[in-house]
């Protein structure tokens, strides 16, 4: 069953989150999967584990409590937000595989612009080297895969072990900037919420929070690292990569 693509344009966060939740609650085993692509006006969102101490100075930007995983993040103009609404049981993959596939779609999107996306052990999302965004050199703090290939649909759940930093409670962000964030929710084997890729944003609001709960974590966008493209082009490429990687 194909995933249907829906471009929502710029939409407010709260009604979009409510619509995702309503769609997921009402769906049946026959409901087709969907991928929503959008952009939000400025908003901070707090995940289920969110601590108020990570909101440093929100100012005039609203703060919204959500039921996704993770801590606080920022959404704003110039960021492509993707919400895959997937029946994982029907698609045949596990939560960890799903996260891997989301990250892989971002990595392949960045590769189109000769930017190398990296994973960091213990910290979901995609990161780039600040000194050389195109470098293919492996990070010492990368996750080390143990077990089966997560790209194989239906494989057993795989596990990650840290490379040089086995303590995943303290991920190592040395020399890195975060360019894409993940925050998902799974209800009755069905996913909502999703990921955000920074394209060309006003990054100042990130200084008002500890992004994803990490003090001092640098946040970047494609524009910052020298890649100039429109939001529409970035959205189109990311959506196509997601459709490929999330296909059942």
Q: Which residues are catalytic?
A: 212
Contacts of 77 (CB under 8 A, 6+ apart): 10, 39, 40, 41, 42, 201, 202
| 3 state SS of 16 | helix
DSSP state of 3: P
77, 3, 29: which is closest to 231 by C-alpha? 77
- Between 231-246 and 95-111, two packed helices, what is the crossing angle to 10 degrees? 140
**246 and 91 Cβ atoms separated by less than 8 Å:** yes
Cα 90 to Cα 23, 27, 125, 153, 154: the distances in Å are 17, 13, 25, 11, 10
Cα 67 to Cα 126, 166, 187, 246: the distances in Å are 22, 28, 11, 22
């Amino acid at each position: 069953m194909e995933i249907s693509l829906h471009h929502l344009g710029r939409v407010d966060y709260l009604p979009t989150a409510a619509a995702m939740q309503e769609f997921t609650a009402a769906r049946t085993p026959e409901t087709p999967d969907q991928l929503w692509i959008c952009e939000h006006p400025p908003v901070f969102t707090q995940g289920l584990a969110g601590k108020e101490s990570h909101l440093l100075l929100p100012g005039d930007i609203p703060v919204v409590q959500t039921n996704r995983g993770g801590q606080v993040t920022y959404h704003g103009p110039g960021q492509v937000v993707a919400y895959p609404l997937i029946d994982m049981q029907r698609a045949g993959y596990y939560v960890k595989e799903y996260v891997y596939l989301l990250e892989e779609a971002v990595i392949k999107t960045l590769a189109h612009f000769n930017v190398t996306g990296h994973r960091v052990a213990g910290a979901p999302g995609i990161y780039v080297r600040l000194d050389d965004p195109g470098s293919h050199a492996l990070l010492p703090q990368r996750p080390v895969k143990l077990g089966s290939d997560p790209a194989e649909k239906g494989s057993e759940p795989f596990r990650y072990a840290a490379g040089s930093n086995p303590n995943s409670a303290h991920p190592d962000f040395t020399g890195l900037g975060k360019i894409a964030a993940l925050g998902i929710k799974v209800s009755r084997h069905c996913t909502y919420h999703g990921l955000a890729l920074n394209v060309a944003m006003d990054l100042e609001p990130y200084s008002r929070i500890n992004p994803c709960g990490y003090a001092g974590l640098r946040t970047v966008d494609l524009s910052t690292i020298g890649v100039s493209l429109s939001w529409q082009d970035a959205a189109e490429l990311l959506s196509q990569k997601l459709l490929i990687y999330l296909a059942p």
